Chains A and B, each alone.
Chain A
């Protein structure tokens, strides 16, 4: 097979961090085995010679869907904000984003 090497525990820890998921040591072990098995199964795809075959991202391709630039009603602000975990001054409130100033 010409595909990439087998998925490692470090790979899983890396993608978990990218995907904002915190995994316990036990979960890391479990998911590494399970995901490696799925990727092993996908080796039949990874090893095919498909040079020259165009990729299909979307089976029923539609392009440039436009509508007239007219004002239309949109969602009600208060109804949307009512679903938020935390709101301040008609805005979504979140915890600190940037680090403390030096």
Chain B
């Protein structure tokens, strides 16, 4: 029996005229109004725009048109997705007030599918972080426990979905930034194969790793959102010009005959309660007809080090564009170089400065071979390690994050400890592979645990159908109280 798919049901109700998109969005705007003062999932709520979009959807239904697969479904957008004429900050002072002159391709596709965009969600500054605490506008709080972080960097998107502010959200995932907050907030989050979702209009952090993906309350709804946003886009030169994996038609195919490898290296670094839940998910897959074995892929243990050389290197180059000349903040000075320096020093927070400097260092003469080029060779090794595993297993299973949500402030003074939160998610980014986090019960502290399914490039259909089985067998997690108000 399949778990409920609230966004799919909502879209069906709006398309068939049994629910009005305007009513749906008003309910969610009311939930945001009531709850977001505490949670701070949003940097900006675009209530009037959302109402206009909803009215347009209702009008199309009344006219006998089909507004699309996401008709009337509220969607929250991470604040690094460009929205024409609507401020897009990346939670950074350096972009405060900037209004992009164009929409990201994913935003255009959402609107074409009848979705209603409700606002821009908080994030770690420029997506650099694992707790949403590096936001220049203050942290987001976990809806399950307001003293805990929501994870990051897409913490605002994950919290918005968990709190019932929007049933769907978009995030971006460079080293785990969709999956880790999804796990910590008890929602579903998927990083698709690199190139399956256009990055046009996603503010760049590390371009060879960044990928936009869905967050949702169910696996089926995440698949629906992926189906809407995926597909080739000529505006992104790294967009794959080949068919996007079919996911909706295979969701309920089950796991009989599939092979699942439980990744030893991911279990080794995780807390005992998280390991126990992961093993329980493995047992559920075996009970559903999959062949499940433990497998070691030693190369993935090198992922964290390689990532924290490659991602900062790419970031140092990408963030060179923030110079106070064409958009965003300018701190004036007598000459341009001093203006550049004043602007960047005031506009960037500490974590962004750390990564820019780290990236500049590992790309500088004398160090590039030892660090950056070496990390690129490790990346090759990780891809080879995965390839060997996928010759024997259809999917790999492990924890999404080593622990449940940690207290606010616990890791902000120690960057390396914060980076370790991404140890299970980074390898998929380095390989360009898809991976999904599915809520699977609670840890000893009663907070959500996420388990992760990984697959080779373009295996979204496979990991999603396995994720449906995991979801159906998952122990319940206590819902955040406010989320109940707006379930359809």
Q: Say yes or no: A7 contacts B308, CB within 8 Å.
A: no
Q: Is the interface of B mostly helix, strand, loop or mixed?
A: helix
> Within the complex, which residue of A18, A21, A84, A95 is in contact with B348, where a contact is CB–CB below 8 Å?
A21
A-B contact pairs, 14 of them (CB 8 A): A22-B342, A38-B308, A41-B305, A45-B305, A56-B383, A59-B432, A60-B195, A84-B326, A84-B327, A85-B327, A85-B328, A94-B325, A95-B335, A96-B334
Whole-angstrom distance between the alpha carbons of A54 and B383 in the complex?
12
Say yes or no: is B179 at the interface (Cβ < 8 Å to chain A): no
Say yes or no: is A71 at the interface (Cβ < 8 Å to chain B): no
- A-B contacts counted at CB < 8 A amount to 176
A:54-96 near B, CB below 8 Å: 54-60, 62, 65, 67, 75-76, 79-80, 83-86, 92, 94-96
Whole-angstrom distance between the alpha carbons of A15 and B363 in the complex?
10
Q: Check A18/B360 contact, CB under 8 A, given A34-B354, A84-B327.
A: yes
State the Cβ distance, B123 to closest chain A Cβ, in Å: 21
Q: Say yes or no: A19 contacts B378, CB within 8 Å.
A: no
Question: Interface size bucket, B side?
Answer: 35 or more
Q: Say yes or no: B102 contacts A75, CB within 8 Å.
A: yes
Say yes or no: is B264 at the interface (Cβ < 8 Å to chain A): no
Say yes or no: is B323 at the interface (Cβ < 8 Å to chain A): yes
> Within the complex, which residue of A18, A20, A35, A55 is in contact with B373, where a contact is CB–CB below 8 Å?
A55
Say yes or no: is B431 at the interface (Cβ < 8 Å to chain A): yes
Say yes or no: is B55 at the interface (Cβ < 8 Å to chain A): no
B:327-354 near A, CB below 8 Å: 327-330, 332-342, 344-345, 348, 350, 353-354
A:1-28 near B, CB below 8 Å: 3-4, 7, 11-12, 15-16, 18-23
Q: Mark B372-404, 1 if CB is under 8 A from A, else 0.
A: 011111111101000000000000000000000
State the Cβ distance, B11 to closest chain A Cβ, in Å: 31
Contacts of A75 in B (CB 8 A): 101-102
**Number of A residues with CB within 8 Å of any CB on chain B:** 50
Contacts of B327 in A (CB 8 A): 83-85
- Which 7 A/B pairs are nearest by Cβ-Cβ distance? A59-B432, A55-B376, A85-B330, A50-B377, A53-B377, A45-B305, A83-B327
Whole-angstrom distance between the alpha carbons of A63 and B419 in the complex?
32
Q: Mark B359-373, 1 if CB is under 8 A from A, else 0.
A: 011001011001101
State the Cβ distance, A4 to closest chain B Cβ, in Å: 5
Q: Is the interface of A mostly helix, strand, loop or mixed?
A: loop
Whole-angstrom distance between the alpha carbons of A67 and B430 in the complex?
28
Q: Say yes or no: A67 contacts B234, CB within 8 Å.
A: yes
State the Cβ distance, B343 to closest chain A Cβ, in Å: 8
Q: Mark B310-336, 1 if CB is under 8 A from A, else 0.
A: 000000100010011111111011111
State the Cβ distance, B104 to closest chain A Cβ, in Å: 14
Q: Say yes or no: A59 contacts B431, CB within 8 Å.
A: yes
Contacts of A44 in B (CB 8 A): 302, 305
Q: Say yes or no: A19 contacts B208, CB within 8 Å.
A: no
